[in-house]
Amino acid sequence: MNSVEKFRKDVRPVLQKQLGVKNINAVPKLEKVIVAVGIWSLATRKSLKDFDEFDKNLMKISGQKPRMIKSKKSISNFKLREGLPVMLQVTLRKTKAHDFVDRFVKLVLPRMRDFSGLSDKSFDPQANYSIWIQNYNIFPELALDDITIPMGLQITLVTNTKNVAKSKALLQALGFLFK
């Protein structure tokens, strides 16, 4: 049984009773997970024009090839030029998103130093949740030799609900711990 079927059979009925929703299709669900690494600060260095290391590491973490996001306009105060690479991003949907969340909750969060729960202030107005990890070397898929330059990782969990309380209940049902 994959993680989507497990969510449908185990988590969704419990969440329906908890939220008091009559229709099972109205229960909030995870639509997609966006995993991103910001690399624009490295793009100005002459020796780091090739981002293969970050590309391979993000592919190992997510199981999907990342796409390069380039800047849309120039900003002189940030030494940013139009067309300069600024981010590597992966969008995971359905089974891959649920598998990633399952691995993240069970393997990565316990490996974080001094972890006492996630902040409940990281919800945006659309009830999506964003997590910033200072160093992505805590993922078990990566070996010590894979990382030469430690970088941060941004993870955004997009839900189909616009209510923060329902979104938080969904994430707690998926295994997230909040302070």
pLDDT classification of 46: cutoffs 50, 70, 90: very low
Provide the whole-model pTM. 0.86
pLDDT classification of 47: cutoffs 50, 70, 90: very low
Q: Which residue has the tokens 């994959």?
A: 2
pLDDT classification of 157: cutoffs 50, 70, 90: very high
Pick the CATH number of 3-174 from 3.30.1440.10, 3.40.50.11930, 3.30.70.1290, 3.40.50.970: 3.30.1440.10
User: Looking at the predicted structure, is the pLDDT value of residue 160 above 50?
Assistant: yes
More confident residue, 5 or 50: 5
CB 54 within 8 A of CB 41: no
User: Looking at the predicted structure, is the pLDDT value of residue 140 above 90?
Assistant: no
pLDDT (0 to 100) of residue 48 = 47
User: Looking at the predicted structure, is the pLDDT value of residue 25 above 70?
Assistant: yes
pLDDT (0 to 100) of residue 93 = 92
* Domain range list for the chain: 3-174
Cα separation, 154 vs 89, whole angstroms? 9
More confident residue, 35 or 40: 35
More confident residue, 77 or 99: 99
pLDDT tens digits for 110-123? Answer: 888 877 888 888 88
- Between 114-118, 123-127, 145-149, the lowest mean confidence (pLDDT) is in 145-149
pLDDT (0 to 100) of residue 44 = 59
pLDDT (0 to 100) of residue 156 = 93
User: Looking at the predicted structure, is the pLDDT value of residue 92 above 90?
Assistant: yes
